[in-house]
Amino acid sequence: MKKILLSIFACVSIYTFAQQPVFRIVELVGGNPTVNDGATFYVSVSGGNVSQKSYSMTNLTASTLTLSVRKFEDLINTVSINDLADAYYCTGTTCYPSSTFNSTVSLAPNQSMLFYADLTEASVAGQSIVRYRFSNASVSQSVTLSIRYNDPTVGIKENNKAIKALSLYPNPCNGSATTVEFNSAASIGQTQLVVVNALGEIVSKTNTTILQGNNKIQINTESLQSGIYFIRIGNDNNALTKKLTITK
């Protein structure tokens, strides 16, 4: 009986160990910090513009980890044979063309690396659905996220958000400040301007008021080290994010 119990305990222990995640995907700016398998993100992008969703991939182990990245284009907005949405991605500083659907990345122990999911919209906005699957074959762990661009099921209100045309200047920035400029179709009132680093950590958070029309907000960058940051303005229902590069 004792041997049976020990055998059961050993099996449970091995199963529990095997189920421990070896990597984590985190949304850098947004309402879903840790991305669970099957997560869906809704993005609005107007014709001719570029959308970028930013995530980090983190190795949770003390050993080097190889991750496989696979892209699935379930639906691509097509206006004509030469006018269609273009979906592509970057891992760290390596960016792949839309013709690339599979790649691998090596992460050192406890290392984090950026992952960008980009889409250049066709001349006329339409619906696209792109999935990305991150996996490690040695432990059979995988995380799949889906990005639905201009999804009609979210309604006209979601796809015509007030905040538009977000820009940063200077960018890259090597001085003590950069300016955030954007247009808003309506007054939103009290909201937040958030600065996030490449690890997904909030560096600063400032309350501000968004008015109808052109808005300009200055960010003090004097204390920021050289690197990549993400500037998010708005709230959970209406926000835009822009990448900022600091060079000192």
Residue 7 vs residue 192, higher pLDDT: 192
Among residues 85, 66, 69, the alpha carbon closest in space to that of 77 is found at: 85
Query: Comparing 22-154 with 161-246, is the CATH topology the same?
Result: yes
Among residues 137, 213, 154, 135, the alpha carbon closest in space to that of 181 is found at: 213
Backbone angles phi, psi at 24, to 5 degrees: -140, 140
CA atoms within 13 A on the CB side of 9: 6
Backbone angles phi, psi at 15, to 5 degrees: -65, -45
Residue 239 vs residue 103, higher pLDDT: 103
Q: pLDDT band for 84, please (50, 70, 90 cuts).
A: very high
Read off the pLDDT of residues 99-135 as tens digits, 9 standing for 90 and up. 999 999 999 999 988 898 999 999 999 999 999 999 9
Distance CA 88, CA 73 (A): 10
Residue 34's pLDDT is 86
Read off the pLDDT of residues 135-147 as tens digits, 9 standing for 90 and up. 997 777 999 999 9
Among residues 113, 104, 139, the alpha carbon closest in space to that of 22 is found at: 139
Question: What are the residue ranges spanned by the domains of the chain?
Answer: 22-154, 161-246
Report the percentage of the chain scoring pLDDT > 70.
84
Residue 15's pLDDT is 41
152-156, 227-231, 232-236: which has the minimum mean pLDDT?
A: 152-156
Show Cβ contacts of residue 44 under 8 Å, excluding neighbours closer than 6 positions: 149, 150, 158, 159, 160, 161
Q: pLDDT band for 161, please (50, 70, 90 cuts).
A: low
Q: pLDDT band for 16, please (50, 70, 90 cuts).
A: very low
Region for 176 from its dihedrals, namely left if φ exceeds 0, alpha if ψ lies in -120 to 50, beta otherwise: alpha
Q: Which CATH architecture has domain 22-154?
A: Sandwich (2.60)
Does the domain spanning 161-246 belong to CATH 3.40.50.150?
Answer: no
> Angle at the Cα of 123 (from 119 to 126), degrees rounded to 5?
65
Q: Calculate the average pLDDT of the chain.
A: 83
CA atoms within 13 A on the CB side of 164: 15
Cα 175 to Cα 70, 169, 226, 242, 246: the distances in Å are 39, 11, 11, 18, 8
Give the three-state DSSP class for 31: coil
